[in-house]
Structure formats: C-alpha cells, structure tokens
Chain A
Amino acid sequence: MNCKDMQNMILTDYLDGEMDDKCHKQVEDHLLRCAHCREFEKTARQDVFNPLVQSEKIRPPEYMWTRIKESIEEKENKSGIPSFLEGFKENVRSLFPKLTPAYAFPAFMIAIFIMVVGNIFFMNQPLSKNPSLVDYASNGQVEYWIDFNNDEVMEYSADFGTKIEQYFL
C-alpha cells in the first residue's frame, strides 16, 4: 500500500476507530517508518478531527417544547375532528381490523360494482324509495370514507414493506 492509500485510511477508519486490529497495526507500522504520513496524521488529527470531536453539544432552548406542543394542538384543532371524536374514529377503525389498503381497492371496486348493478336493477325506482339500498350503499361508503379521508393511508402501506406495493396502493 502506498502513502496515498494510507492517508485515505487515516482520514477515515483509522481516525474514527473503525478498523480491525490487523489493519490498525498495518497503519501503525507504516507511520513508524514514514515521516510524511506521520506528519499527515498529526495535522489531520489536530486541525480537522479534534475540533469536531471535542465540540460542545448545543442544547435546545427552553421554549422549544412549548412551541412544538402548540403546533401539535393547533394541527389537531385544524384537522376538523374534535378530540372527543378521535376516539370514536379509532373505535370504528378497530371494527374493521382487516381493512388495509391492500383490500381497500378491490373492496371499493366491488362496492361500486354492486351499486352500478343495483342501480340498473332498480332503475325504475328512485334510490330514495328503496331505503335498504340507500342504507347499504351509504354503509359501504362510511367504511371507506374513514379510510380514504385518512391522511395516513400511504403511511399504512409502509407496513407492507415493498416499494412496489406502495406504488400501486
């Protein structure tokens, strides 16, 4: 290994202590023999490595938490769902534990299909005169309204792991 390779290792794994014993010894041996690299190591450590490693941590100001808390509360108020209904939303969701985006699309298509077919069947009767159908359609939508209006739909898809699934969902 030449001096350039040595210096590359000194600037990274050697200074940062990421080297295994064998490599470490190799560099040390070279430093014993090579004044040029020895000087390089000394300069790098003094001028570049130490100032950062020894720098003081900057602490967050006291007002920070208050500000973040206020932003969270403001966002929750803006979301339009009062806090006492948040629990209700969660309860509704827990009634459909299998309701995940992977099923949402096919289920939504089936719901549309049923509504279209239903409409053709009952074309002569206005929807409002067929309460059972109205109930069915609106119930079908309630589930999905909850899910599609949820800004976390994409985030849920993260549970599936692969990017391709995220792309299609």
Chain B
Amino acid sequence: MQSLTENILRQAAEGDIAAFEAIYRACSGFVFNVACRVVNSRDDADEVTQEVFLTMHRQLKNFRFQSAFKTWTYRITINTAINYAKKKSKEQNRTVEYMDNNEYQNTIQENDASDKDVVTTLLAMLTPDQRACLVLRSIEGLSYQEIAEALDININTVRSRIKRAREALMVYRKKVVAHEL
C-alpha cells in the first residue's frame, strides 16, 4: 500500500473528492485483493470493496494521524471482508440443508471444476477467520503483529489460526494426491 501525505488525508476528510480519489488509488489494490481472497469470489469482492471505501469516506474525519492510517485501512478492509464471508457461508449452509447429499456433492465438484486457480481452491477449505490471517500474511505480507492489530486479537491467536489453516490445507493436499494416485 502506497503512503499518503497528511495533507491528502486532511483534504479528503474535509470532503475533497480528488483527495479521496488519491486515497483510493493508493489503497484499492490492497483492498480489492484482500476482498477477493477472503470472500474467495471475484463477484462479491466488488461489493466488499465498495463498502470498505464508503466506510472510509464516512469515518475519515475522525482520523488524525498518518502513521495509523495503514492499520486503520487494514482493519476496515479485513473486518468488512470477514463479515461478508461469514454472512455468505451462513447462507450457503442454509442452502445445503435443503439439498440432498448427492446434489451437494455435485455442486462442490462443479465449483472445483470451475475454479481457475489453485489458490481459490485452497482458500475454499478454510474458515473466513483462517482465510483472513493467511491472506494477510502470505499474500499481503503483513507481520503477525500487524495482523493482530488489524483484527484486534492476540498475536498467539494469529499464530494458531495460521497453523490450523496450513494444517487443514496439508490434509486437503494429501487427500487430493491420494485420490489422484
């Protein structure tokens, strides 16, 4: 994420749309990529990204210090994405209850077949909370400390979510290999 001057942040807080566009240009890469990966769907990422920037626009006037801007952006982005992913997985669970098992298996296979990249398939094996930690660490390169601050959780919780996520992925990979052989 590119850094922004305090002047731009202040102008945007005062309602200057050009200054807010500068903020968008600096952060949208991070926001959109995290949204895509945590929600694990490109279509839904549009909605999440839009919500993140509208929240930022609304709350920018409470914002004083440039140094904290990154953490603030991380926080809004990751929380919006996790909430969206959780809401969506609840809806999916409800749909599954109405389908019989065969139907559900078919849906999974169809989804697997339509996935373009291996990352999407891997991330689909995880809970939204695990996905969030792994995406921020492995894809966006945040430190454990930065993730803990963004999610407002203990650094050891970050560790344990990352560990469980990678364990789950290793189990999945093993199954895939066994199945293929």
**Is B143 in contact with chain A by the CB < 8 A criterion?**
yes
Chain A binder among B3-11, B47-55, B83-91, B99-107: B47-55
Establish whether residues A61 and B119, one from each chain, have CB atoms under 8 Å apart when the complex forms.
no
Q: B137 at the A/B interface (Cβ < 8 Å)?
A: yes
Docked CA distance A59–B139 (Å):
13
The reply to whether the CB of B76 lies closer than 8 angstroms to some CB of chain A is no
Secondary structure of the A side of the interface? helix
- A22-33 CB contact bits vs B (8 Å, 1 = yes)? 000000000000
Is there an interface contact between A49 and B50, defined as CB atoms closer than 8 Å?
no
Q: Give the residues in chain B near A47, CB-CB below 8 Å.
A: 169-170, 173
Please choose the segment from A8-16, A101-109, A121-129, A137-145 that sits at the chain B interface, where 4 or more of its residues have CB less than 8 A away: A8-16
Q: How far is the CA of A144 from the CA of B24 in the complex (A)?
A: 34
How many chain B residues sit at the interface, stated as a range, is 35 or more
B122 beta carbon closer than 8 Å to chain A: yes
Residues of A within 8 A of B15 (CB): 86
Nearest neighbor of A15 in chain B, beta-carbon distance: B166
Q: Is B57 part of the binding interface, using a Cβ–Cβ cutoff of 8 Å?
A: yes
Q: Is A57 among interface residues, defined by CB-CB distance under 8 A? A: yes
Flag A142-169 by CB within 8 Å of B: 1 or 0 each. Answer: 0000000000100110110000000000
Q: How far is the CA of A55 from the CA of B140 in the complex (A)?
A: 10
Once A51-B122, A71-B50, A72-B17 are accepted as A-B contacts, the answer to whether A58 and B32 lie under 8 Å apart by CB is yes
Q: Which of B125-165 contact A (CB under 8 A)?
A: 134-135, 137-139, 143-144, 159, 162-163
Q: Which residues of A contact B54 (CB under 8 A)?
A: 68, 71-72, 75
Contact A65 B24 (CB under 8 A): yes
Name A67's contact: one of B32, B50, B135 (CB within 8 Å).
B50
Min C-beta distance of A37 to chain B, whole Å: 14
- B159 proximity list for chain A (CB < 8 A): 12-13
Closest to A75 in B: B54
Closest to B45 in A: A58
Selected from B20, B49, B138, the residue in CB contact (under 8 A) with A64 is B49
B169 (CB) vs chain A CBs: closest residue? A48
Residues of A near any B CB (own CB < 8 A) = 8, 11-13, 15-16, 18, 43-44, 47-49, 51-53, 55, 57-61, 64-65, 67-69, 71-72, 75, 86, 152, 155-156, 158-159
